[in-house]
Amino acid sequence: MATQICCTDSSIGSHDATFFRCNPVKLHPSIGFSAQISRLPNHRTFRNYSVQCSVEESKPVNLRTCKQCKTQFDPSLNHPQACRFHTAHFGGETKRKFESVYSGGTMNTPESGKVFQYWHCCGSEDPFDLGCTASPHSSYDD
């Protein structure tokens, strides 16, 4: 795949435009498009650049499903931090109500009878937490 970033703003110097032409960006093989992007170099002005991608041969991408995070991934883009998952389940426990003969029972406290849910591996209470463990994707085909 050939990728080229060209400056479309005539006010930019030739040095900056050459920098972008000489440093192509690697993109996923299934992407083939032209787009306009903006850059804010000095936090005052915008400059437009066009991204031009051309695919020489359209190879079918063989996506696999990860055993750990259950998402589809391209094996050629797999890296050591690609997969984020939890090693234990998301569950909880109930704060029990009990009446004590001594002071300090939990029968009339605001948290009595409330269900506390959390990830048992890391203690996070967010059910949509990204994951506490990072590793490469692992396919069912491996």
CA atoms of 124 and 87, how far apart (whole Å): 12
pLDDT for position 137? 93
Q: List the alpha helices (DSSP H) in 1-142.
A: 14-22
Rounded mean pLDDT of the chain? Answer: 68
| Predicted local confidence at residue 32, as pLDDT | 45
The rounded distance, in Å, linking the Cα atoms of 114 and 109 is 10
Q: What's the pLDDT score for residue 136?
A: 94
Dist. CA 1–CA 21, nearest whole Å: 15
- Residue 57: C-alpha distances to residues 2, 53, 60 (Å): 11, 12, 9
* Residues in the chain where the model's pLDDT stays below 50: 1-27, 30, 32-43
Instruction: Name which of 126, 60, 45 is nearest 90 in CA terms.
Output: 126
Closest Cα partner for 121 from 134, 106, 132?
132
Instruction: Identify the pLDDT of residue 93.
Output: 76
CA-CA distance, 105 to 98, in Å (whole number)? 6
Report the 10 Å Cβ neighbour count for 141.
9
This prediction has a pTM of 0.47
- Assign 140 to helix, strand or coil: coil
Residues 50, 24, 81, CA angle at the centre, nearest 5°? 110
